[in-house]
């Protein structure tokens, strides 16, 4: 598999596969930390800027809407330029609107900055792309899910940490109006630091840098000069759009929770800003293990039951997620709501991991396009949830409707099918045996 790692050895920093693994999740972590740093501060920002409920809904939609286009764009760019250049550029350029929060003094300026910051949500696609080209089929599901899960925890860390960062800035004697702006310096600085590390310490693939390899005429697994051709090939694959819907029903829910849950706990259950941040932080920090658990379960099950079981596992996880969402929407006390949120959050993160455990097997020749389109599905789900909230005027009702959507969307996972030849080819790659029978013979068996 062109030097792809067949094991995840966390302490092997000298291996390019493990450097890419660690730095991709770190980059994803700081991007998500920056993306959601504003959300736990919104009750304070809302009061200072005198924002209406409609304006807050618009800001929440803007924070995730632009990421749809970012994720569609970033996959083909990874195929063309390589993940090292694309991730470095995203981190350094994405830090600018984060620092730009210092200049926010009106609804319009806040809306613009949240829109611009939303581009860094495309970081997820690069993380999944980079681990997909670095790891072999037998561990790629676990590698993708673990890197994404640890990175996703940046959203939970922001929910839990930013109220404390704000308290620290206030303790220096800085007024409230400037304190929340100053707190945003932390995620901006982290993005710059990790961007420099990414450029210095990673490479595009196990063989090296895409640009150098192409100059030498070396075939690259995953990286194609014509990134948009790969994107068009991905767009013609029906399985991609089924996973687009399932990802809308798991990652889209995750994004929506990060955007509204802190304010929901403050408004509905009268929790303090710190307590609400800790509650939502617990949901986000589930990603530290739950997303990886979904990918690991997918890898383990496929050894016994073959490639199709990955889709069936995803269906079961989404069913459990939808039931948990319905429980959460009906909770009448903060304690029950937190327990229900952690319950459906566990299955939400696992479903995200199980989705991207499937992505590398949809179309290896159009990996960037597949990863980008499926990743964009999560943001489409979050945007749709934002518009639903805006039309209903109730976050509680929105969660109830979303639970029904997730239950219905789980059927899309079952509809993901592979030909017998496709399953046979993947089995050969997973076994890694030169003397393995041909795909045709396996299909006959």
Rounded Cα distance, 312 and 410, in Å: 9
Phi, psi of 172 (to 5 degrees): -80, 0
What is the predicted pLDDT for the residue at 437?
43
**pLDDT tens digit string along 350-384?**
999 899 888 878 876 777 778 778 888 888 998 89
Q: Give pLDDT, residue 189.
A: 96
Q: What is the 3-state secondary structure (H, E, C) of 358-389?
A: HHHHCCHHHHHHHHHHHHHHHHHHHHHHHHHH
pLDDT value at residue 432: 60
Higher pLDDT, 143 or 33: 33
pTM of the model: 0.74
Question: How far is the CA of 24 from the CAs of 28, 119, 130, 388, in angstroms?
Answer: 6, 17, 7, 33
pLDDT, tens only, 114-172: 999 989 988 988 998 999 889 887 788 778 878 888 888 888 888 888 988 998 998 88
Architecture of the domain made up of 16-207+220-433:
Up-down Bundle (1.20)
Higher pLDDT, 153 or 433: 153
Q: 5 pairs with which residues across the strands?
A: 135
């Amino acid at each position: 598999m062109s030097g792809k790692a067949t094991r995840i050895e966390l302490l092997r920093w000298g291996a390019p596969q493990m450097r890419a693994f660690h730095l991709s999740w770190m980059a994803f972590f700081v991007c998500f930390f920056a993306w959601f740093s504003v959300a736990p501060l919104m009750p304070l920002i809302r009061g200072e800027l005198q924002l209406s409920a409609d304006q807050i809904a618009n800001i929440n939609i803007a924070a995730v809407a632009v990421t749809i286009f970012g994720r569609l764009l970033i996959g083909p760019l990874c195929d063309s330029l390589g993940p090292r250049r694309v991730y470095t550029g995203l981190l350094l350029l994405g830090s600018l609107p984060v620092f730009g929060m210092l200049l926010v003094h009106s609804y319009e300026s806040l809306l613009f900055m949240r829109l611009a910051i939303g581009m860094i949500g495309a970081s997820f696609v690069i993380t999944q792309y980079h681990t997909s080209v670095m790891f072999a089929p037998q561990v790629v599901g676990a590698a993708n899910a673990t890197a994404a899960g640890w990175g996703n925890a940046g959203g939970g860390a922001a929910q839990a940490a930013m109220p404390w960062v704000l308290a620290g800035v206030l303790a220096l004697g800085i007024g409230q109006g400037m304190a929340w702006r100053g707190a945003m310096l932390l995620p901006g600085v982290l993005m710059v630091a990790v961007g420099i590390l990414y450029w210095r310490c990673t490479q595009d693939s196990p063989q090296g840098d895409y640009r150098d390899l192409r100059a030498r005429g070396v075939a690259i697994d995953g990286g194609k000069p014509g990134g948009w051709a790969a994107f068009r090939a991905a767009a013609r694959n029906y399985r991609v759009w089924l996973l687009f819907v399932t990802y809308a029903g798991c990652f889209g829910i995750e994004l929506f929770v990060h955007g509204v849950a802190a304010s929901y706990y403050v408004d509905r259950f009268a929790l303090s800003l710190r307590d609400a941040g800790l509650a939502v932080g617990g949901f986000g920090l589930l990603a530290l293990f739950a997303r990886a658990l979904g990918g690991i379960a997918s890898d383990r099950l496929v050894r016994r039951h073959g490639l199709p079981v990955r889709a069936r596992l995803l269906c079961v996880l989404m069913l459990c997620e939808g039931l948990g969402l319905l429980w959460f929407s009906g909770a009448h006390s903060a304690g029950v709501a937190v327990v229900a949120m952690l319950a459906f959050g566990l299955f939400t993160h696992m479903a995200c991991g199980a989705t991207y455990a499937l992505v590398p097997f949809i179309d290896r020749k159009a990996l960037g396009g597949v990863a980008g389109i499926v990743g964009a599905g999560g943001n489409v789900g979050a945007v749709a949830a934002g518009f639903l909230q805006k039309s209903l005027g109730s976050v509680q009702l929105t969660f109830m409707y979303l639970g029904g959507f997730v239950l219905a969307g789980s059927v899309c996972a079952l509809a993901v099918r592979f030909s017998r030849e496709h399953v046979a080819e993947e089995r050969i790659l997973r076994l890694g045996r030169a003397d393995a029978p041909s795909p045709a013979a396996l299909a006959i068996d």
